[in-house]
Amino acid sequence: MQLSYTKCILQSFKEILFVEKHRQVQIIQIKFIILLALILIIFGLMESIDSISALTTNSWHDIFTGNINSPFAISVDSRGNVYVADTYNDRILKFNNNGKFIMKWGSYGNGTEEQFDNPSGLAIDSRDNVYVADTYNDRILKFNNNGKFIAIWKSNAGYTEQQFDNPSGLAVDSRGNVYVADPYYDRILKFNSYGTFINKWGSYGNGTVQFSSPSGLAIDSRDNVYVADTDNDRILKFNSYGTFINKWGSEDSNSEEQLDDPEGVSVDSRGNVYVADTDNDRILQFNNNGKFIAKWGSYGNGTEEQFNSPSGLAVDLRGNVYVADTYNDRILQFNNNGKFIAKWGSYGNGTNEKFDNPSGLAVDSRGNVYIADSYNSRILKVVLNN
């Protein structure tokens, strides 16, 4: 239809030019018609752009010539390279931001620096060093961005300052200090970038500095540490020295400040805190002092504001919030006020917009979204064209 309009306009141009080409008044009319035609053409192009899908997906399982098996963690460095904890294959994979395979390291075992057993946590510091939570080997390993081993701390499960039991949650602050959620010993441990122990806090319980299976970690621009204290149904905030600042949440589903098994926590550039309130099937937003701002979501799979056990969270530089709606096998995007923007995915494995238990999420500096499609054993990249 738009093409026919354009042809009609062009035909009119020819007729006017032929009949009236020597008359100055008609030249003004021609200029007016040309301007009108350009407006119509541009309008038509804009409509065509608007009809394009809001996203483009790219499956890296199909690009990578190996097999990925249940990836559970994903992270992006300052250059846009993507690192994947290929959990059940006991290795780390590195891709560029177009899914081109760069390198891999790791194999099953517990003897050397390049052996893993179910790595499930990843973090990257400002120098693009890669930290791996080698979960079943009860240790943390550090590599440079080419996979060269730098440091290890510490193997053999235990309760000393450099021992863990199934660590998974990892976060790195602006100074390169590394924080580890040690869920079985209900504590947080802090190390410098070389693995030297600095501090620890927490024990089992529900007091001010106590935890019950802490999982998610997030760090704001001032290096305050937010902990998803999962089995205590709350969020705790500490400074970088482990000094308690605030807490909010208790078990329930009725009020804005009650949580039920929160797993994911993320902080935006303004210090707002987003919580995946997993068993309440909703997302909550707080300011950095724990004051409630907004909530959205309820149990279900029909509308844009229904979830089924949301787990992974990521926030881009504009404050848009991405949610891994795990049991609904889809990803949803909201603005920082909880207004729905887009969703993609449904259960399956045939196309690039099918998921099976997506869990890990990461967003790069350009707003590209990377998804660990765990049970389909692949990584997908979503480009938001608009």
Looking at residue 107, its amino acid is: S
Q: How does pLDDT run across 205-251, given as a tens digit for each residue?
A: 999 999 999 999 999 999 999 999 999 999 999 999 999 999 998 87
Task: Decide: pTM greater than 0.85.
Answer: no
Q: 20 vs 386, which has greater pLDDT?
A: 386
Mean pLDDT, rounded, of the chain: 82
Band (pLDDT 50/70/90 cuts) for residue 366 is confident
Looking at residue 359, its amino acid is: S
What pLDDT is recorded for position 200? 94
Residue with tokens 């149990």: 299
Residue with tokens 């902990």: 227
Q: 99 vs 177, which has greater pLDDT?
A: 177
The answer to whether residues 210 and 234 touch, using CB atoms and an 8 Å cutoff, is no
Q: 252 vs 383, which has greater pLDDT?
A: 383
The answer to whether residue 24 scores a pLDDT higher than 80 is no
Q: How does pLDDT run across 287-322, given as a tens digit for each residue?
A: 999 999 999 999 998 778 899 999 889 999 889 999
Q: How does pLDDT run across 102-149, given as a tens digit for each residue?
A: 999 999 998 878 899 999 999 999 999 999 999 999 999 999 999 999
Looking at residue 375, its amino acid is: Y
DSSP alpha helices (H): ranges in the chain? 2-20, 24-50, 60-63
**From residue 36, how far is each of 13, 31, 316, 326 by CA, in Å?**
12, 9, 40, 50
Q: How does pLDDT run across 52-71, given as a tens digit for each residue?
A: 234 455 666 555 556 788 88
Beta-strand pair 354-355/346-347: parallel
> What order of strands is seen across the sheet that includes strand 234-238?
214-219, 225-229, 234-238, 244-248
Distance from C-alpha of 287 to C-alpha of 242, rounded to nearest angstrom: 20
What pLDDT is recorded for position 51? 27
Q: Using a pLDDT cut of 90, give the percent of the chain over it.
A: 56
The answer to whether residue 6 scores a pLDDT higher than 50 is no
Distance from C-alpha of 206 to C-alpha of 202, rounded to nearest angstrom: 10
Q: How does pLDDT run across 88-99, given as a tens digit for each residue?
A: 999 999 998 888
